[in-house]
Every structure is written in structure tokens, then in C-alpha cells.
Amino acid sequence: MSELLNKFLPLEAKRSELVAIGGADPFHVVVERVVSATEAIVNGQQVIMAGTNNYLGLTFDPESVEASCAAVRDEGTGTTGSRMANGSYGAHLALERALADFYACPAAIVFSTGYIANLGILSTLTGSGDVILMDADCHASIYDGTRLGAAQVVRFRHNDAANLERRLQRLEDKAKRTLVVVEGIYSMLGDRAPLQEIVEVKNRYGASLLIDEAHSLGVLGDHGRGLAEELGVEDQVDFITGTFSKSLGSIGGYCVSRWAELEFMRYAMRPYIFTASSSPSLIASTRIALKKLNSGTVLRKQLWANAHQLYQGLAEMGLELGPQVSPVIAIRLPVSMEEAPGVWGELLSKGIYVNLVLPPATPDGGCLLRCSLSAAHSPEQIDRILAAFSDIKEKIAPEKSG
């Protein structure tokens, strides 16, 4: 074995230990067959998928599927190069125009994934002499994007606008060269940024603001544009990034801006210049899904009805949940990291797939079971999810003192 691989042996040893103790392996889940937007065959068993981020259930939407198939037949399976090298397909430009129109912004750039969108924007927008002030609970793609660039990076306490203001005060004149970065809905606990307060703070100091709406696109706002729309502050947000891989049921990412000069960044973003562009099939299905998102509220209303049903049912069991109702519902586990895989495995054996999240990926160092709901889940499926949690609630409900 290469000496370079030795550093990973402790990780594999820990994984093996957790699997041996818990009797279940959450690290190598194989989805053998996808049955629908909400069910799949896992380990030979048909299960309800309650951890996929498929918020609007559009992965099997007939129009999106047909558009994707037609694009493969007409334009092939891939672009085989970057847009800078091989050129943009007409569909790439059409999707960018649709996104710009959707957000009523003058500029939009489409990326191959949401991860690459954050890498590209954050590593390029700020440089030497600039500052990035980011919420401590931001996604790994945001952390990685800041590391690729030359800006000074400072974290502020999660969802703490007062802490953000104190850090901006210390920057003095550099505050005007500062990018504040937050998320609409945070992916682990399902909580939201206090965006109105953050906007007020950044305006006082002349900073710029980027919000990642990955988990809030299609979920919040009258038109599904996210938290900034819901709170009426879109005209105060400088940059919005997001992904196609959740509410739009596809793969890809984007950035839109109220500043037309966003367009100039194409010529400097290494993750954009040197990454193969999205395949025609992905672009085609995304365009259809975006139209559906923009044309009605039925799916969004069903999604929220499902979220309230599950959150209320879990709360009534006495489980410790994330701070507010959201399509992302996290259950804090009062067990050790060694015991957590066994709890996850019990749910899977009862036909329910959720995400197991272990430290250091969790915000506070504990263990979580993370559910993400879909508009495609039926009330009966949510009842089955609740029944499975009820069967194991004695193991996961916090102990009451006194």
C-alpha cells in the first residue's frame, strides 16, 4: 500500500468499529433500485426514502423525464468539455435567462453542481485585501470556496446578527470590502438565517451579502425563490447561489446577482473555466422543473403540510428536534457516536431511510437523525415514518430530570 494512504487507516478503523458495534453500516448504503420519488429498494427491502432532499418530488415528473430523454437523443449524452473551451449550448444560455427572469436579476451563471457554484463564486469574488464573514454553520462547499481564494476569512456565531455586527465594527474601513455569507435554510437542523437583521447590519457597514438558497429554493417565498423572497429583502441581497439537485430534481448549480457585472466573473473563475459543462439532459429537465416551480404553489403547500405533520408527530413523542418546522427535520440523539448507527439501522429495518449525521459534520458535536421531506410523500407514508420512530422512541427520547 502507498505510504500516502496510511493517514486514512484510522478513519477506516473507526468506521469498522462503529459498524461492528451498531450492526448496521450507514456509510455504504446501496440503493439497489429506485421505485418512485419516495421509495426505493435498499438491502433487498422496499423502504420509504425520507432523507433525499427531493423537496418537490420532481425526480419522476413526466415532463421533466421526457425533456431529458429528448435532449439526449438530440444533443447526446454530454458536452465533453467546459463552456469556455467547447462553447455554451443554446440550452445553457436559455436556462441562465430563465433563472435571471425568475429572480428578476440582470445576470445569472449556471455551474455543473451547486458545490462548484460556491467554489467558483467565493474563490473569485473576493481576493487579497478583502474579507469573508461567514456563518459558522455554513455548508462545506462554502468553507472550501473560501479556502480557494485569497481573502481573509472570519466566522461569526451561527444566526447571531449581533456577533456579526461586532466583527464588522472591528474591520473598520475593510467592512466595505467584506462579503457576508449565510444560508437560507441550514441543511443540518433546518433552521433559517435571521436575514432581515443580517441585511440591516451589512447595510450599516456597507458590506455585501451572499445567501446560499440551496435548501430554500422551491421551499420558501410566494414564488419559491427562497428566504430572501419570503422576507422581502431580495433587493438587499447582492448574490444568491443555489443548486438544482434538491427542489429541481436534477444536478447543477447557479449564481444570480442584482449586479450585471457578475457576467465578467466568467473569465476569472477556475471552477467554471476548467469544469465540463452540464449535460443536455440535465439542463433540459431543470428548465422544465423551474417552470413548474414558478407556475404554482400546489407542491410547496403539500411539502409544508407534510413537514408540519412529521414535526408535530415527533414533537408529541418528546423527541428533541431542530428549532423550527422545516422540510429538514433533525432529531437529536441522546446516544454516543458508537450507538448511533444501531439506532439508524433499526429505522432502516422498519422500512424507513433517513440520514445519520455524526460529528464533526453536526453543528454542536452531537449525533443526528436527519429527515428531509418531499411533496411526493403521502400522509400515509408520514404516518409510517412516525410509527417507526414511535417503536424506538424510548432509545432516542432525552431523559427527563427529576
> Is the CB of residue 210 less than 8 Å from the CB of residue 265?
no
The secondary structure of residue 368, as a DSSP letter, is E
Residue of 231, 178, 182, 228 whose CA lies nearest to 205? 178
Annotation says 215 is catalytic: yes
Residue ranges of the alpha helices (H) in 104-226? 114-125, 140-148, 161-171, 195-205
The secondary structure of residue 159, as a DSSP letter, is T
From the candidates 139, 215, 223, 292, give the one annotated as an active-site residue. 215
Annotation says 326 is catalytic: no
From the candidates 202, 223, 246, 292, give the one annotated as an active-site residue. 246
> Is the CB of residue 348 less than 8 Å from the CB of residue 42?
yes
Residue of 313, 376, 158, 22 whose CA lies nearest to 321? 313
Q: How far apart are CA 186 and CA 180, in angstroms?
A: 16
From the candidates 112, 123, 141, 187, give the one annotated as an active-site residue. 187
Annotation says 246 is catalytic: yes
Q: How far apart are CA 261 and CA 331, in angstroms?
A: 43
The tally of CA atoms less than 13 A away on the side-chain side of residue 223 is 14
Residue of 15, 19, 44 whose CA lies nearest to 31? 44
Q: How far apart are CA 391 and CA 228, in angstroms?
A: 39
DSSP bridge partners of 298? none
DSSP secondary structure letters along 85-112:
HH---HHHHHHHHHHHHHHT-SEEEEES
Active site residues: 187, 215, 246
